Amino acid sequence: MAVRNIVKVGDSILTKKCRPVEKIDDRILTLLDDMAETLEKAEGAGLAAPQVGVLRRVVIINVGDENGLIELINPEIISSSGEQTDVEGCLSYPGQFGEVTRPNVVTVRAADRYGNIREITGEGLLARAICHECDHLDGKMFMELVTRWLDSEEQ
Ligand code: NI
């Protein structure tokens, strides 16, 4: 395992659409392991493959709940409901936080590292993280959705 560099805002890789994973091979497993180590070191809640320079549909999430580390390969949000507005940030845009409105409950379908298709339903912070990370796979970032930026005293 290795900590990878996190791509920062301004790099065009963050605006690109990622390709699906066709085969879960050693490269993808190493990517997942490296992303987990990178996320832990950065103390973040989620990380998408393009943030480490890989244009593949892979994300990991860890919001510190009972789910622990969630690995999502080719994730698709299949349902969402409700609404929540809360503060959000991104490891590719360090030190900047803003309010974003997201669905309150989200169900995502994805493969795990063994190729098993699973559905995971998240509420609150987990729903927010799923939406935020899946957006990265389509080259979208949370800044586009921020309705109010926090000033330095609020952070
Ligand atoms: Ni992000």
CA of 94 to the centre of ligand 1 (A): 10
Mind listing the pLDDT tens digit for each residue in 80-132?
Answer: 999 999 999 999 999 999 999 999 999 999 999 999 999 999 999 999 999 99
The whole-angstrom separation of Cα 31 and Cα 49 is 8
pLDDT at position 85 is 98
Residue 32 pLDDT greater than 80, yes or no: yes
Res 1 pLDDT > 90: no
Q: Examine residue 4 and state whether it is found in any structural domain, yes or no.
A: no
Q: Is residue 91 part of a domain?
A: yes
Q: Average of pLDDT values for 126-145?
A: 98
pLDDT greater at residue 110 or residue 152: 110
pLDDT value for 145: 98
Predicted pLDDT at 46: 98
- pLDDT, residue 77, reads 98
How crowded is the C-beta side of 9, counted as CA atoms within 13 Å?
13
Name the domain count of the chain. 1
Residue 6 lies in a domain: no
Is residue 7, in this structure, part of any structural domain at all? no
State yes or no: pLDDT of 138 exceeds 90: yes
> 43, 71, 133, 144: which one is catalytic?
133
- Whether 155 is covered by a domain: the verdict is no
pLDDT at residue 23 in the model: 97
Name the DSSP class of 45: S
Whole-number Å distance, alpha carbon 144 to ligand 1 midpoint, is: 12
Nearest Cα residue to 58 out of 44, 46, 42, 41:
46
Higher pLDDT, 152 or 81: 81
In this prediction, residues 18-41 reach a mean pLDDT of 98
To the query of whether residue 133 is one of the catalytic residues in this protein, the response is yes
User: pTM (2 decimals)?
Assistant: 0.97
Looking at residues 32-39, what average pLDDT do you find?
98
The CA-based angle 32-36-37, given to 5 degrees, is: 120
Mean pLDDT, range 14-41, rounded to an integer: 98
Within a domain: 51: yes
Ligand 1 mean position, distance from CA 4 (Å):
15
In one letter, which amino acid is 32?
L
CA 36 to centroid of chain Cα atoms: 12
State the distance from the centre of ligand 1 to the C-alpha of 26, rounded, in angstroms: 25
- pLDDT of res. 99: 98
Question: Would you state the torsion angle of the CA atoms of residues 103, 50, 18, 79, taken in this order, to the nearest 10 degrees?
Answer: -20
1 in a domain, yes or no? no
Domain region containing 49: 12-149
Runs of H (alpha helix) within 60-105:
none
- Whole-number Å distance, alpha carbon 83 to ligand 1 midpoint, is 20
- Distance (angstroms) between ligand 1 centre and the Cα of 46 equals 7
Q: Is residue 2 a part of any domain in this protein?
A: no
What's 62's domain CATH number?
3.90.45.10
